[in-house]
Amino acid sequence: MFPKPKSALVPNTYAYESEPMVKATGFREYDARWLFGKEINLMGIQALGMGLGVLISELGARQEIVTGHDFRGYSASIKYALISGLLASGCKVHDIGLCVTPMAYFAQFDLDVPCVAMVTASHNDNGWTGVKMGANRPLTFGPDEMTRLKEIVLNSQFRNKVGGSYQFHENFPARYIADLTNRPKLKRKLKVVVACGNGTAGAFAPQVMEAIGCEVIPLDTNLDYTFPKYNPNPEDMEMLHAIRDAVLQHKADVGLGFDGDGDRCGVVDNTGEEIFADKVGVMLARDMSAIHKDAQFVVDVKSTGLFVTDPVLQKQGARTTYWKTGHSYMKRRTHELGALAGFEKSGHFFFNKPFGRGYDDGLVSAIAVCDMLDRAPGKSMADLKNALPKTWSSPTMSPHCEDEAKYGIVDKVVKHFEAVQSRGEKVAGQPIRDLVTVNGVRVTAEDGSWGLIRASSNKPELVVVVESPVSEQRMRDMFEAMDSVLRTHPEVGEYNQKI
């Protein structure tokens, strides 16, 4: 039998090499993330693979799975440890090698395989690893599946059996690239900065954008898993500012930045101004709902209020539902409602037919942005952005908070604002117009200014976003109101960035 995983082991010891280590907090709401070496070891990853094989059986799915890995110094070894566990559980494994996450999702359709296990820490800093998993394409696991997987692995409820097999699919990226680029070329000649932060997308994004007809200005597209410039995350201002500088230097039409595993795309306009992904979503929703009557969209609670108030979307009959932040939640809700698309402020966009297959793919998003510009030949990216009603919005701000504490803190914050509302008290000088508590708490004041506090699903931190349709000062007022509540909890630490 396989040993029961320990929650902690000391590296450079006999025990560390002879027993699995799996820290329980690595099982997140909809995927798994650990600090490799400190919170999980290779035998722990092997245990995860065996547990995943059991869960696939329990879910009634065929025990056949696609696997791939992102570009980090340790990802390949983690993938092979995972594969050894999957094989032991009786799974047939289809390995597509080094890839972006959406390539693994595409492989489920292209190879007709029901399940996926993509080894990636997404945009997390070096040192982190993780696995994005699913057993019902195009969906990925949610809290129910992750809770059961955690139970199987930590309690060593493995049911290993013979019958596992392994197949490596040589040159699989060519099939993915062909699928994206088998389409008419853009009519408009677009000069595009393609920024990858030395992450996995650098191997594929420039080629795809050139193939659809763009003139590509590559920025940090060479693969380097030390990430010498910055962490590839298009929500971080450091990456956005690097894209801005390249756009201005080359007089580009648009800058597109891809995260470490290529399922998100950040956008900088032709004036060098970053457009937060929720505003890009409004622009795309305008473009798509002009073509498709009565379009339905799903957006996450971190996103701008314009999805409801924008007069163009209202005129075009577009309807929008706000939902929980998180790629699995959003993917599932977009799928369930049959929405045309789902937009998340982090840059995860989910396009259903005719635009996509329902999963998040940064390159599909980038192509959608280029198509939008192609359909507006006389307008720049800045023109399209400036046509939106003006709002002042913050980037995503994340104060540190330990995994063990963060959900309890958010529960207290939700209760605080519910009490404020019930007593008729004011927030940032105004009565509360609306409270949304589907995912943390989103507090909207009477003038439409709002602030959100929720727990990060994949890192030891909270998430704070604020926006105002009135003024920058009102946005700052909402931030002070949110932050002052957080400061009553000593467990909440410093922010990664602030307005």
* 122 flagged as catalytic: yes
- Give the span between the Cα atoms of 313 and 81, in whole angstroms: 48
Non-local CB neighbours of 192 within 8 Å, separated by 6+ positions = 209, 214, 215, 216, 217, 252, 253, 254, 255, 256, 370
Instruction: Specify the long-range contacts of residues 469-474, CB closer than 8 Å, at least 24 apart.
Output: 469/305, 469/309, 469/389, 469/390, 469/391, 469/392, 470/392, 471/392, 472/392, 474/392, 474/428, 474/447, 474/449
| Ordered alpha helix ranges (H), 159-276 | 172-181, 205-211, 237-250
Count of CA atoms in the C-beta half-sphere (13 A) of 256: 30
Nearest 5°: phi and psi at 163? 115, -5
Q: Exposure pattern of 307-326 as b/e (b: 16+ CB <10 Å)?
A: beebebbeebebbbebbbbb
The catalytic position among 122, 289, 303, 468 is: 122
Question: SS3 of 155, please?
Answer: coil
- Give the span between the Cα atoms of 16 and 427, in whole angstroms: 51
- Give the span between the Cα atoms of 171 and 286, in whole angstroms: 38
Non-local CB neighbours of 412 within 8 Å, separated by 6+ positions = 489
In 179-220, beta strands by DSSP E: 191-195, 215-219
- Give the span between the Cα atoms of 319 and 146, in whole angstroms: 31
Across the strands, what pairs with 93?
Answer: 65, 166
- Give the span between the Cα atoms of 366 and 434, in whole angstroms: 34
* Residues labelled as active-site residues: 122
